[in-house]
Amino acid sequence: MFRDLKVTVVVPCYNEEKMVGMTVATMPDIVDTIITVNDGSTDDTLNVLHRLATEDPRVIVLDNDRNHGIGYSLVNGFKLALATTDSDIIGVLAGDAQCDPTYIAPMLEELEDEKLDYVKANRFFHRDALKAMPRYRQFGNIFISLLTKFSTGYYSISDTQNGYGFFTRRIMEKMDFYYIGERYDYENTMLIALSIAGARIKDVPVPAIYGDETSTIKVLPTSLRALRAVWVGFWRRLYRKYILLSFHPVALFLLSGLFLALIGFVFGVVLIVNRVVNGVSPSSGTVMLVVLPLIVGFQLLMTSILMDMNNEGRG
C-alpha cells in the first residue's frame, strides 16, 4: 500500500521463464496485488507463474487461451484488477525484468503529488541507459515517438514505446479499452485512449535494464503496426475529441488547411506537367493560384497544431 492507496501491478509474460521470477521477487512491498498474464508461452512460463503464486500470496495468474499479444494481455489484467480488487492505482511492469522496480515509489509520488492520471517511464532522460539500447531501437523509438506526439496530442511526452507506468483507477474506468491494440501497438493506442479521455500524464526518468534476454519483437511487422496505429489514432482522436464531442476550431483549421494545401499542391503539379509536356509557361496570376492556397493552408495547419498543443491533457 502506498499512502493508504492500494496498488496493483499487471505483469504480461511471453516466454519469460528465466526473468519473470526476478521481476516478481524484486516487486516492493507497496504493491498489494501482482496480476501475471501468461500470453500463450511455449516455454515453462506458466508453471513458473503458478510456483510464484504459491510462494507470494500477492500473485494472481491469468492464462490466455493462446498468444494474443501484450495489449490483449494487459487489458485482460486491467479488467481483472477493476473487477476483483479495490485498487486505487493500477500499473504495468514487463515480465522481462527490464523495468527497474525501485522506481515504483518515485513514480507513485509523482502521480499523487501532481494530481496526474498516468505517469510513465522515459528511458531517454538517462544517457547511460540510452547507450545500452540497441542503435536501431533508438532510431525506431525516436521516429515513432515523434509521430505519436501528433497522433495523441501529448507533445510533452517522449519515449512513447515505453509501457512501464501507473494509472489512477478513475482514468482507467473512464477509458475505452476498445481503442487499445492487442499487440505491440499497445503503447501508441493506450496514449490515444488516454487523450480521448482527457487524461493528464507525465514522463518520469527511469532507465531500462538490458541483460542477456532475447527480444521476441519482430521489427518490421511491429513498426508497420505502430505506424498504422498512429495514423488511425490521429483521425480517431480528431473525430472523437474535436468533432463528435464539440466542433472545436482545431478541427476547422486542420481540415481547412489540408483542403487548401491539397488544392495548391494538385494545381501546382498540373502547372508543372503542363510546362514540361506542352512548354506552356504559367502567368503570375496562375502561379498565385498555387502559392496562395499553399501558404494559407500551411498557416491553418500550424495554427491547428498550436491549438492542439495548448489543449494537451484536457477533455
Q: What CATH architecture applies to the domain 7-243?
A: Alpha-Beta Complex (3.90)
Q: How confident is residue 169, by pLDDT bands cut at 50, 70 and 90?
A: very high
CA distance 143 to 136: 11
- Going through 144-258 in order, the beta strands assigned E by DSSP cover 165-168, 201-205
Cell numbers found for residue 184: 505491440
d(CA 295, CA 27): 55
The structure's pTM equals 0.81
Is the pLDDT assigned to residue 301 strictly greater than 60? yes
Q: What is the mean pLDDT of residues 185-195?
A: 89
Strand partners, 119: 166, 202
- 284: cell is 503570375
Tell me if 187 sits within 8 A of 162, measured CB to CB.
yes
pLDDT per position as a tens digit, 28-74: 999 999 999 999 999 999 999 999 999 999 999 999 989 999 999 99
